[in-house]
Amino acid sequence: MHMDTWATVDSMLPYTLMGVVNVTPDSFSDGGAFEDHVAAIAHARRLASEGASIIDVGGESTRPGADPVPPSDELERTIPVVEGIAGLHLPIQVSIDTMKLEVAEAAIDAGASYVNDVSAFRHDPDLASLVADRGVDCCLMHMLGEPRTMQQDPQYVDVVDDVKAFLHERLTVATNAGIKEERIQLDPGIGFGKTLEHNLELLRRLDELTTLGRPLVVGTSRKSFLGRITGRDVTERVYATVATSVIAFERGARVFRVHDVAATADALAVTAATFGQWRVIPTRTTTTRTT
């Protein structure tokens, strides 16, 4: 059953939680934890019970330095899980985290109604046409280069301006391909070809991206820049993730891709209760920029 996420967000909560289900052996945070299809489906059910309204299923790690995965492997890992989650008939959307046309098409056939493409349709331009033709939702993310090389000395003139220009260009590509604008969400790609300083600058100035007019997706969950700040292992970064989610919400983000759904849901419930009267973020008189 297709579910209109944006209508749901507007009528119920001012934010959406996207729970992560990685069915890969090498993801940076939970690689190998849910390779078993039954375990992955059970985990998805648990994330939904904790407050996730989108379940994002990924079969290819996009951690820094990751090698590409053949479509056959990705299909074998993800499609039974997508089909199993869709078969639960929960009031959620199933998302497929992929750059590949073949995988996205099979996932949609299996019940997915959201395509999360970290390449923003650059890896496989025909994926935009598929999303348009099938009338599903999508997320377009900024990434410098590809996962294998993205952390090799990333450089920007101004990271926020550069990311904003990229997302505007990819939004135009998507709508020109026939995707309805209301079907598109945008992700600045925190941790994807960015230094610690770049990531923090994006969080500080996230409000500048809201002028693109589409819901902003933020995925900081358990990422290495949080470990650099806190000194904590990847399994101990839930509090840091929650902090960045609260900051991002106040700056205008409305979709949060996280591993730890319950903790983030509680934090955002309090944040939304406090700031819920504001349909947009408060106007700031100044914006601090690093040089």
Three-state secondary structure call for residue 35: coil
Helical (H) or strand (E) element with 196: helix 196-204
Three-state secondary structure call for residue 65: coil
**For residues 261 and 40, what is the distance between their CA atoms, to the nearest angstrom?**
15
Give phi and psi for 110, each to the nearest 5: -85, -5
**For residues 94 and 206, what is the distance between their CA atoms, to the nearest angstrom?**
26
Q: 116 is written with which tokens?
A: 């999360």
**For residues 86 and 231, what is the distance between their CA atoms, to the nearest angstrom?**
38
**For residues 147 and 172, what is the distance between their CA atoms, to the nearest angstrom?**
24
**For residues 256 and 259, what is the distance between their CA atoms, to the nearest angstrom?**
10
> Are the CB atoms for 116 and 91 separated by under 8 Å?
no
Question: Active-site residues: which are they?
Answer: 223, 257
Query: 63: which residues sit within 8 A by CB, 6+ positions away?
Result: 26, 27, 28, 147
Name the E strands within the chain.
16-22, 54-58, 93-97, 114-117, 137-141, 184-187, 217-218, 255-258
> Are the CB atoms for 220 and 267 separated by under 8 Å?
no
Q: 278 is written with which tokens?
A: 């504001």
Rounded to a whole number of angstroms, the CA Rg of the chain reads 18
